[in-house]
Structure 1
Amino acid sequence: MAASSRAQVLRLYRALLRESQRFSCYGYRTYAIRRIKDAFRENKNITDSEKIEELLNKAKANLQVIQRQVTIGEMYATEKLVIEYPIDIQPRKASNPETTLAHLQHPTVPPRTETAPRTETAHAHV
């Protein structure tokens, strides 16, 4: 592959990924990025200049589709999914096991206590 065609492919690859990052919907965004990476990885060893030109034209058309879909998605934006919010994980001190595990208990559920085993009473079913 010629240097100019390699540079053109890389420019198009970056443009596709950059535009796909703009999808407001998590599912569309991850799908588009995955498909772009897979397609470029699948075709990275192509040396036929006609085939490269055909794939470049197809990628340019796909870039235009992505740009239109992003614009439409911006008009009808939805709320973010839970998976899209960053997780804030703070390390806990392990000096006291009860305080370390306290965050695992639900605040409205009292801790379990040992009780005598329940005895089953026979109920007559008619």
Structure 2
Amino acid sequence: MADLVTVVKKTEEEWRAVLSPEQFRILRQKGTETPGTEEYDKFFEEGIFSCIGCKTPLYKSTTKFDAGCGWPAFFEGLPGAINRAPDPDGRRTEITCAVCDGHLGHVHKGEGYSTPTDERLCVNSVSINFNPAKPSSIT
């Protein structure tokens, strides 16, 4: 997706001006929210989840599942919307928005969930926003 749209680049001060302190901590400083405390963990309405930093559509609600981990879990993102990179410690794989490079969470593979990808994209609720729309309207 980043090659189809302009990549969003802002200074730290510009990000602080448009994000709440908690959003800034998670998206820009790669923080993690406390599990089970935010709004999208047990949220299963039909629509699209977008990046809170740049509004890029990231996930269809049809790819969200209850992993019981305390964070929203998806088995895949929209094509080209999410980048993956190994954490510096090499133990996990970070997922970020392909447009603004905002930290979303981590992807875990091979945990035995009955999803088409056998992946759990574990996402901080603070990093996403829900848009009630038909998932079929986003390709």
TM-score normalized by the length of structure 2: 0.20
Over alpha carbons, which structure has the higher Rg?
Answer: 1
Q: Whose helix proportion is higher, 1 or 2?
A: 1
TM-score normalized by the length of structure 1: 0.22
